[in-house]
Structure 1
């Protein structure tokens, strides 16, 4: 038993010495239970010999002739009562709360009734809001897929964290636009310019004083090189950054088309994306609603038949072209809007 106890003490000492991150508190006691003092641990002496512990900090013997804790040593109630002397008052208060009558009148009864009535009214008034006349195409998908959240934001506008277009997304859109307007001769963007009106997929949480970093410049150069290898690099768009407002069930949907190309007698609307590609089928279906709006807007703006207008996403960071196989026409978009908004 003595050898086993020594093994356990050695293990405890090893763990203590090797696990301490910054400081190690070493302590000992002559007295525990019993009527005779115990000797200091051999490992305390080893630490003194190693120069880790000051030897004068360890007394040679106890100053007590008898156990100062009494014959039974120190005692502690278990389980521990966390409230100490306040326990009777705390437990009595908890009992009153458990037995309280929720309908009883009190100091805050009127406030509670108003809050509960407001919650009931909110739950029963879904979509009971006035949709703004101007609806951005970038937010159109939220009206259709998350109408409750949109209704709540419209019903009770709250301050939002400062979102701003990323400098990287802004610079890429500017570069593509200026490249198109100069006939494809612009190799780099020397003037940073002001931010463009990008949609929500190109927004990130950023402080208002964000600046262009070296990493932004490097990634922009990567995007430019990727675009130069794309199938649009050698083409000149017929439209760039074209804003179109289309009437839509009593509202005006604002569409901002990044670029439109004439390819083999067909119009192709391209939406540049510098953010992440769709994470799955549901995410793609949500984003496709915006692309469908762009397709309808361009067809109606130019008078082209809808079946002669194509629409595609291009995720530059992944060099990924996403061409949805099914895009809703105006009737389909109106049905989806009516089903979601009423």
Structure 2
């Protein structure tokens, strides 16, 4: 139970009352300081973010914010390792040195990763992209959005024949998982929105001249989302940080 309120003592002189007031105020300030020290500090949002972080904000903003406050390392799954090795193989196929992650390159593959890689390679050889020559692979970019610098790396950039009609440029991201549907596909397309906006700015071309697609290798299926977010929608997502 809280202590009863203290009333002024008529016999207490001014100096004593002043000293008591200072003591009580000091105790309150110290208690407030202890309370603030015990509370978890709010991490300032980062100024540089990745395209994948925006995808996370579209899917589950609270999980992203929690991860920024308390980052936890994750061990890559075997499927992720196979995906990394597939991307390296595609870069080598197109005649570009692979952007090797030394940690991955020096680690023994997980059981099941290599057979999965073989299946992905076989499926890619049957795709229309296998015979095409990209304008660039592993193309890095960054672009400002709503006070943040958003970074990404486009798996492959193709330049289309203007006589064929359609967009002059096509940005393709290789995916080794299954094709998502509905809201999940719309959320994943945020990645393409970042690439498209950044590439159009960098090249000085209208957004309409830049197409973007996912190619789901295992299913040999290229998905061009019917709708890709614009800069305003990307800014709204970043406002969730």
Normalising by the residue count of structure 1, what TM-score does the alignment of the two structures yield?
A: 0.52
Of residues 32, 40, 50, the one that matches 1:136 is 50
Shift of the 242–164 alpha-carbon distance from structure 1 to 2, 3 Å rule, reads farther
Shift of the 300–177 alpha-carbon distance from structure 1 to 2, 3 Å rule, reads same
CA contact (8 A) 2:176 2:217 kept: yes
Of residues 272, 282, 295, the one that matches 2:174 is 272
Distance 1:316 1:144 in 2: 24
Of residues 105, 109, 113, the one that matches 1:211 is 109
Distance 2:87 2:175 in 1: 9
Match of 1:29 in 2: none
Gaps of 5+ in 2: 3-31, 163-167
Match of 2:17 in 1: none
1:149-204, CA deviations, whole angstroms, 9 ceiling, x for partnerless residues?
Answer: 2223323x24334337833112211111111127xxxxxxxx99943899xxxxxx
Of residues 140, 145, 158, the one that matches 1:248 is 145
Corresponding pairs, count: 203
1:234 to 2:128 alignment? no
Paired residue secondary structure (2:170): strand
Distance 1:164 1:302 in 2: 36
1:146 to 2:48 alignment? no
Shift of the 138–196 alpha-carbon distance from structure 1 to 2, 3 Å rule, reads farther
Following TM superposition, by how much is the alpha carbon of 1:267 offset from its aligned partner in structure 2, in angstroms? Answer: 0.6
Distance 1:196 1:284 in 2: 31
Shift of the 262–197 alpha-carbon distance from structure 1 to 2, 3 Å rule, reads farther
Match of 1:95 in 2: none
Distance 2:130 2:59 in 1: 35
Distance 2:99 2:207 in 1: 36
Match of 1:24 in 2: none
CA-based RMSD: 3.4
- Structure ID, larger Rg: 1
CA contact (8 A) 1:135 1:251 kept: yes
1:225 to 2:131 alignment? no
1:295 to 2:196 alignment? yes
CA contact (8 A) 1:223 1:317 kept: yes
1:97-145, CA deviations, whole angstroms, 9 ceiling, x for partnerless residues?
Answer: xxxxxx79xxxxxxxxx9xx89xx77xx9xx642111101111122344
Within-5 A mapping of 1:88-167: 129-155=43-69, 157-163=70-76, 166-167=80-81
CA contact (8 A) 2:157 2:172 kept: yes
CA contact (8 A) 2:54 2:237 kept: no
Following TM superposition, by how much is the alpha carbon of 1:276 offset from its aligned partner in structure 2, in angstroms? Answer: 2.8
CA contact (8 A) 2:160 2:170 kept: yes
1:322 to 2:223 alignment? yes
Match of 1:313 in 2: 214
Following TM superposition, by how much is the alpha carbon of 1:311 offset from its aligned partner in structure 2, in angstroms? Answer: 0.6
Distance 2:219 2:102 in 1: 22
Shift of the 148–197 alpha-carbon distance from structure 1 to 2, 3 Å rule, reads farther
Distance 1:257 1:306 in 2: 16
Distance 2:137 2:71 in 1: 34
CA contact (8 A) 1:129 1:151 kept: no
